[in-house]
Structure 1
Amino acid sequence: MGHRRYWIFVFMFLLATINYVDRIVLSVSSTPIAQEFGIDKVQLGYLFSSFLWLYVVCLVPMGMIVDKLGTRTVNAAGIGLWSIATALTGLATGFGMLIGTRVLMGVGESTTYPASGRVIREWIPLKERALFAAIFNGGAYFGPAIGGLVLAWLVSAVGWRTTFLICAAIGFVWLLAWMIWFRKPEEVSWLTDEERAFILRERNGSAKNTAPDGHSIGLRGLLSSSSMLGLMVTQGCAVYTQYFFLTWLPNYLQTERGMSLLKSGALMSLPFLGAVVLTVLLGKLSDSLLTEESARAGGRRRLGALLLLMGSVILLTPLVENVYLILVLITLALGGVASAVALNIAMIGDLLRTPADSGRATGLLILGGNIFGILAPIVTGYVVQSTGSFNMAFVVAGALLAFGALTVFLVVRTPIGPSESDATLSVRTA
């Protein structure tokens, strides 16, 4: 049959990687930027958070646009816009312009996750969904890992401004490849007929469990689902910790642990690389353990709850002095968070009965995550400035992970949307 469809895994992994490289470059560069513009800890927290301000507003509209225009067009426009914004950040003349370019970057980056939800329904057989989601979301951790190693060296070697311009150029290279090779599986020329038939046959699982492709329950229908709401809250608890580390870990290592820019960048990469390995392995495990019936009944929630509990080990961080042991705890936390986020994305595909809502449902999931994500850099800035330490910031993140584990296990149990028989009786609401 062949496995040429795995090129879609590569495309989306690289998209997430570039997405997060362009986010982490500000964190890696934060010390020289703060020195150049006289930015304090609270201002730095707002700067870290700024790209999320319009990002969260745009997520659901972008999901609706993806469902209307398709992933090829929307992903192309998104990475083009955020690459321009990244280049403009490198040309910033002050704190206000830095905020403005990061807000613009957030608009562009809001396309990525809703588009991935549509890619899952168009390209990925049900039994490969958790693996795809794990590989795709692994890019969100591989990007910071590369950022820790390469971007820290670039900032030291050529300065933070040139580093932003290099990151922007990489985005345009991906955009060119995407426009040349990506289409729906029905349209691409590089699939064999046998593999194309396999994808079209297996991408929805059993036809009886899925409403017709053209039917949509709309935002009201999605938000009336307890499973949808539970996944949004769970995603928020996980993403808070993700953004806490994504934005503040370099500064924590540099200011509280007294490390140089290069050393902090190298050590920061280790937990993120560990998270990539863990999320791919656990995603593959999730696919292998579940039948189609158990997946559609929310069976992935059990592993998701365990992974979030594993992440809550960062509650122990204030009790540990050895920086390398702290990095082990952070690696376990990030691995648990990354894997749980990937399973949440897969569960949208498992539980959603209406393929026409794939983009907006994923948009809602990411919205739930990033409402908490907006708060993480800001709350951490205030906590660190008021207490003079990162200890309480670790406690807040760990407690949220424990709450997220409880939420996904108890709430995410029922399908999202009607069955096929119910769908024929419903009125289209969006």
Structure 2
Amino acid sequence: MKNRRIFVYVFLFSLTSINYIDRVALSVAAQPIAHEFGISPVQMGFLLSSFIWTYFASLIVWGLALDRWGTRYVNAAGMAIFSLATVATGFAWSYASILVTRLVMGAGEASSYPAGGKVIREWMPARERGIAAATLNSGSYAGPAIGALLVAFAVQLFGWRTGFIIVGSSGAIWLVFWLRYFRKPEQASFIGEEERAYILRERNGGAPEHNTGPVLSIGDMLKSGSIWGLLITQGFGSYAQFLFLTWLPSYLQTERHLDIVKSGYFTALPYALSVLLALAIGKMSDRLLSPDACRKGGRRNMVAFSMLLTSIVLVTPFVDDVWLMVAVFTLSLTGAQAALAMNIALIGDLLPSSAEAGRGTGLLITGGASFAMIAPIATGYVVSITHSYNNAFYIAGVLAIAGALVAVLMTRTPIRRDTASAPVGEVSVSA
């Protein structure tokens, strides 16, 4: 049997890569933009987090739209919106105009993870869901690695405006291929009948999907203790992720005294290395878990391990050597990336069918975004008040340890129609 679904992996990886290339552009160009418009650290913290406000508000809306109209056109609309908004940032004339383009960008980018989660639930056999989720989330680290270098060189050579125009235009290429080739596995022409049958048979671990009765609503899901565990874990992991995403280049420039190009390089290197390591963790989770263990939430243990790896960021203030710092950032980023990816796979494991995957993933990422939008602002205040990044790293590390505990204790019960009404916080003894 040929594995043509590899093309779906490519779509998932490139989707989030482009998404995060667009996000990191402002982080890399923050200093010249702040200089041109006279922006303070606190104001920059709000600007860096602004896209997350509309991102947060739009996630569930996109999830519901995906469950109703499917991933092909809904995901394409999201890509078009955030790519155009990124290009528009290059034509901004004031702090307020950049704020508007970032808000529009955030609303469009909110489509990507709900779409990716639904594609994984529709396309991937249960035993591949870990590596598929890791591939999706790896784009969120490859994107900053590529974007940090690309924007840094563009800013150095042509100015910050050109950097936004270049990275924003990359979405057009992706759109052409997505609309030309992507369909659900039931209709996709690039896979053979044997592979199609395998996907449809194994995407629920060989067990029948629970498609009878009404689809779980958002309200139904919120009655599950497992959902709350997933949301909290996603939030705590996202805090660390967005601390790095929004402030790492500035930290390297101000605390480590690196120029824009060198800060771009030392931002890109940990992100690039963490992509490979997180993919290995995703593959390991698939090898260690049987389909039955997946359905019972066994992947939570890998989530907890990854969150503990994230907490290594706590040692950053005690590291002087730049290469040791790269190692610390690489391990912490690997943990955050793997934890968030395994959480996406975990909600797919626990949901009864692919019919709820869009709204379920949208709800999950909403939990992440709730803390993600706090991280840049909180860090801005911490830096402004203490004139140091140390406490910012401590906050991220403590939240990561708390997230590991939540993952182990609260994500133990499958999200079923017969258990959705269980009291929040109920803990099952299933494996």
The answer, yes or no, to whether TM exceeds 0.5 is: yes
Regions of 4+ moved over 6 Å: none
Between the aligned residues of both structures, percent identity stands at 49
Distance 2:206 2:185 in 1: 19
Aligned residue number for residue 164 of structure 1:
164
Contact 2:271 2:333 in 1 (8 A): yes
Alignment of 1:256-275 (within 5 A): 256-275=255-274
Aligned residue number for residue 112 of structure 1:
112
Paired amino acid for 2:29 = S
Distance 2:35 2:212 in 1: 54
**Cα RMSD over matched residues?**
1.2
Paired amino acid for 1:269 = A
Distance 1:334 1:149 in 2: 18
Contact 1:232 1:369 in 2 (8 A): yes
Deviation at 1:324, TM superposition (A): 2.1
Paired amino acid for 1:309 = L
Aligned residue number for residue 352 of structure 2:
353
Alignment of 1:169-188 (within 5 A): 169-188=169-188
Contact 2:133 2:342 in 1 (8 A): yes
Matched, 1:52 2:52: yes
Distance 1:372 1:36 in 2: 30
Aligned residue number for residue 204 of structure 2:
204
Distance 2:100 2:190 in 1: 41
Counterpart of 1:288 in 2: which secondary structure? helix
Paired amino acid for 1:381 = G
Alignment of 1:150-299 (within 5 A): 150-208=150-208, 210-212=209-211, 215-299=214-298
Contact 2:151 2:164 in 1 (8 A): no
Q: Which whole-Å deviations, capped at 9, do the CAs of 1:152-180 have from their partners, x for residues lacking one?
A: 11111121111111112111111111111
- Which structure 2 residue ranges, 5 or more long, are not aligned? 421-431
Deviation at 1:8, TM superposition (A): 0.3
Contact 1:213 1:354 in 2 (8 A): no
Paired amino acid for 2:412 = R
Distance 1:69 1:404 in 2: 34
Distance 2:375 2:121 in 1: 31
Counterpart of 2:373 in 1: which secondary structure? helix
Matched, 1:325 2:324: yes
Distance 2:31 2:250 in 1: 7
Contact 2:147 2:167 in 1 (8 A): no
Q: Which whole-Å deviations, capped at 9, do the CAs of 1:32-90 have from their partners, x for residues lacking one?
A: 11111111100000000000111101101110000001000111000001111011100
Aligned residue number for residue 4 of structure 1:
4
Paired amino acid for 1:254 = Q
Paired amino acid for 1:367 = T
Distance 1:118 1:312 in 2: 29
Counterpart of 1:4 in 2: which secondary structure? coil
Contact 1:114 1:362 in 2 (8 A): yes
Distance 1:327 1:237 in 2: 22
TM-score, normalising length: structure 1: 0.96
Distance 2:30 2:233 in 1: 29
Aligned residue number for residue 425 of structure 2:
none
Contact 2:87 2:164 in 1 (8 A): yes
Contact 1:217 1:354 in 2 (8 A): no
Matched, 1:42 2:42: yes
Aligned residue pairs total 420
Change in 2 beyond 3 A, CA 1:120/1:213: farther
Counterpart of 2:388 in 1: which secondary structure? coil
Contact 2:117 2:133 in 1 (8 A): no
Matched, 1:70 2:70: yes
Aligned residue number for residue 426 of structure 1:
none
Counterpart of 1:321 in 2: which secondary structure? coil
Counterpart of 2:143 in 1: which secondary structure? helix
Contact 2:204 2:353 in 1 (8 A): no
Q: Which whole-Å deviations, capped at 9, do the CAs of 1:245-280 have from their partners, x for residues lacking one?
A: 000000000011111000010011111012101110
Contact 1:221 1:417 in 2 (8 A): no
Contact 1:215 1:354 in 2 (8 A): no
